[in-house]
Each structure stands twice: as structure tokens, then as C-alpha cells.
Amino acid sequence: MYIENLRIINFRNYDEAYLKFNKHINLLLGRNGQGKTNILEAIYMLSIGKSFRTNKDGEIVKFGKENSYIGGSYVKYSRNNTIEIGLRKNNKKGIKINKVSIDKIGHILGKFNVVVFSPEDLRLVKEGPSERRKFIDREISQIIPKYYNHLYNYNKILGQRNKVLKNVNVDAALLDVFDDSLSNEGAWIYIYRRRFVDKIKMLSKQIHDKLTDGVENLDIKYISQIDIQRDDSHESIKSRFYEKLKNNIQSDIMNKVTKIGPHRDDIQIIINDLDVKLYGSQGQQRTAAISLKLSQIELINEEVKEYPVVLLDDIFSELDEKRQKLLIDSLGEIQIFITSAEEGHKKIFEDKQYDIFRVENGQIS
């Protein structure tokens, strides 16, 4: 799939801009702080309705303005579609798909698929489990929108359960009601995450093998408190999760918080039998993060039957020329957006079809 055009109004440092994109490579060049990433952010918002940089929509509205608009048209399965987002500074956003308003933000998911690479991806490898859960959750939601509903319900019930646990006298009967629905939603989350990790594990292994000329063996492990096998039924996972909640009830009451469940999951990233987070070099960590992201692109293609749009934010300057070339070649015919402060990167695309956008102080030429 590819995005044909983008219109933004009062978005970050832009008053108004209308851009037509190349189906293949789009190079956004300009000094720092001029508005390159802002364009990628606008494109990304059309895919999940949220930024990859902030959870606060108000930050996106141009300083001194009340509303912003982001609209774009993309082609998927050879059909044209439009997505429009209206942001209001202190209010709920409105989203239209093909001119029809959607009533739930979640309904935007799975329409226009985007994968973004940024220097922050390193956090995926280096930081704590919550970064990796966020990655997994966003990525599965893009492919399987109903996963987002399970997650939404799970978090809501978890919040209610934790609230009960904070009471001086815990109401056991009430807790049991929550445990039943929590294990029901949680079991779906376990199932989808297990499938996701299985697929990512295979794909990223092959990709990492290529990127490192076969020197490094990448492995991904799903870490959860309940041992989830590939063929486990929802019923069986639910009952084991429910049991475990029951067995831990005294400890939860003491800690005043739920310590069992998929909200404690993690994935372990391993290179040549060693945990990359603990023992990997900076270069290994960076390549592992790129392999994971690239596997995401392949997974979307497998599930959605079309490649996503790929955004490469400032990651070029971190790679040596050989890896830059490997990365671009591995992306094949996919539509990509690359931001950079360095003109020099142009030579990597010389034999390819590309457009250049020069970005200066919220203006594009």
C-alpha cells in the first residue's frame, strides 16, 4: 500500500501543507528542528490515530491554535481511501474514513498500515518489559483490530481489580467477578501474543541472519507467568490464569496490586545464546531492533497481503553505508519515507525512483 498525498493544517510547526508523495522513496531533507519528523508523525497518525512521540494530542496542535487537521489518501488493494483526523486542543478527536465518521478510535486500526523506525527503537532492546509490551500490543492491534478490544477490556478490568485491592477490607466476592472476566480477556491476549512472537521469531531470525552475514543467530522468547503452548485452547489458558489469580490472592491483597497476568509479560531477545539487553554491544542491540522492525514489515505483508508504508526517522546516520544499502535493498519496492539532515545519503538511491522534499521552518519545497 502507499500514501498518495497528505494535507495538514495547524499541525506542529506547519500552518498548512499539501504534499504529493512518490510511490517508492521520499526523502525529507533539512536541518534539525525544521519539521521533518513532524511529517512522519502526521503520516503515522493516519494509521493508528495516535502519535508515536506523544500520547497528548494537545501537543500536536500548532502553538496558539485550537484545532488541527490531518488528512491523507492511500491506496490499498488497488482502491483509494481517505482518512481524516480532526484534533481539538482540549477535546476528543474526530476521525473520518472515506468521509464517514467513526465512533470508536479503535476502528481506525488495520486500515492503513505503517511501520516506523527511529533511534528510539533501541529502547525496545535496552529498556524494561513495558517498552516491549507496548511494541507487541501496537503491532498486533494493527493486524488484528479485535486484539485492541481485548486489551482495552483487560486493562479496564485490571484497573477495577486493583482498585478493589486498595481497599482496607477486600471484598472477595467482588474480586472473583473480576477474576473471571480478567482471565477471559487475558487468555485472548496470551493467545495472540504467543502467535505473534512465534511468527516474529522465525521472520526476524532470517532477517538478522542476512544483516549480519550469518554471524549472529537471533532468537526471541515469549516470557509469561503462564506457560502458553501454541495449541492451547482459550478455555485451558483461561482456567490456568484464573487458578493462578486465585493462588496469588493473598499476595495481591498484601501488595495492593495484581501481579499475575499478561500485563507482566516480556519478550527476551537473544543473540548467539546471550540476552542482548544484558550482554549485547551497542551495534548488536541496534541491529536486533532493526531486525525486529523489519520482521514486522514481513508479518504485515503475510497477514494483510500488502506491504505497509515504512518511515525511517533519522536512523540513516546511525548505520554505516553497507547497512544503509542492505536496509534499503531489503525494503524492495515498498513506499518509504526517510528523514535526514545529510544530503550525502542521496547517493544510496541513485538507481532508484525518488522525490526530495526540502524542509525548512515548517515549509516544504
Q: Which amino acids are annotated as binding site for ATP, given as ranges?
A: 30-37
Q: Which residues pair with 312 in a beta bridge?
A: 117, 338
Residue 63 contacts ligand ADP per CB under 6 A: yes
In the bound complex, what is the minimum distance in angstroms from residue 123's beta carbon to ligand ADP?
18
The backbone region for 312, taken as left when phi is positive above 0, alpha when psi lies in -120 to 50, beta otherwise, is beta
* Residue 35 binds which of ligand ADP, Mg ion, none (CB < 5-8 A, kind-dependent): ligand ADP
Q: Which residues contact 124 (CB under 8 A, 6 or more apart)?
A: 131, 132, 135, 289, 292
If we measure between CA atoms, which residue out of 47, 2, 44 comes closest to residue 21?
A: 2
Please state, in angstroms and rounded to a whole number, the distance separating the CA atoms of residues 353 and 365. Answer: 18
In the bound complex, what is the minimum distance in angstroms from residue 334's beta carbon to ligand ADP?
21
Please state, in angstroms and rounded to a whole number, the distance separating the CA atoms of residues 44 and 31. Answer: 21
Stretch that binds ligand ADP, among 59-67, 142-150, 264-272, 278-286 (CB under 6 A): 59-67
Q: Which residues pair with 76 in a beta bridge?
A: 79
* Residue 13 binds which of Mg ion, ligand ADP, none (CB < 5-8 A, kind-dependent): ligand ADP
Nearer Cβ to ligand ADP (46/267)? 46
Residue 262 contacts ligand ADP per CB under 6 A: no
Nearer Cβ to ligand ADP (40/237)? 40
* Residue 133 binds which of ligand ADP, Mg ion, none (CB < 5-8 A, kind-dependent): none
Q: What residues make contact with Mg ion under the rule CB under 5 A?
A: 36-37
Q: Using DSSP bridges, classify how beta strands 336-340 and 25-29 pair: parallel, antiparallel or unpaired.
A: parallel
In the bound complex, what is the minimum distance in angstroms from residue 38's beta carbon to ligand ADP?
4
Residue 13 contacts ligand ADP per CB under 6 A: yes
If we measure between CA atoms, which residue out of 73, 86, 68, 98 comes closest to residue 20?
A: 73
Largest Cα–Cα distance of the chain, in whole Å? 70
351 phi, psi to nearest 5 deg: -90, 10
Nearer Cβ to Mg ion (36/62)? 36
Nearer Cβ to Mg ion (70/207)? 70
Q: Which residues contact 49 (CB under 8 A, 6 or more apart)?
A: 85, 93, 95, 105, 108, 109
* Residue 237 binds which of ligand ADP, Mg ion, none (CB < 5-8 A, kind-dependent): none
- Which residue in the set 50, 62, 132, 240 belongs to the binding site for ligand ADP (CB under 6 A)? 62
- Which residue in the set 6, 8, 19, 37 belongs to the binding site for ligand ADP (CB under 6 A)? 37
Judged by CB under 6 A, the number of residues near ligand ADP is 16
Q: At what angle do helices 321-330 and 282-304 cross, to 10 degrees?
A: 10
> The C-alpha cell of 62 is what?
500548532
Nearer Cβ to Mg ion (31/163)? 31
Stretch that binds ligand ADP, among 54-62, 172-180, 219-227, 240-248 (CB under 6 A): 54-62
If we measure between CA atoms, which residue out of 83, 73, 71, 70 comes closest to residue 12?
A: 70
Residue 38 contacts ligand ADP per CB under 6 A: yes
In the bound complex, what is the minimum distance in angstroms from residue 341's beta carbon to Mg ion?
8
- Which residue in the set 32, 55, 169, 229 belongs to the binding site for ligand ADP (CB under 6 A)? 32
- Which residue in the set 35, 71, 110, 186 belongs to the binding site for ligand ADP (CB under 6 A)? 35
Please state, in angstroms and rounded to a whole number, the distance separating the CA atoms of residues 124 and 135. Answer: 8
Footprint on this chain of ligand ADP (rule: CB under 6 A):
12-13, 30, 32-38, 59, 61-63, 339, 359
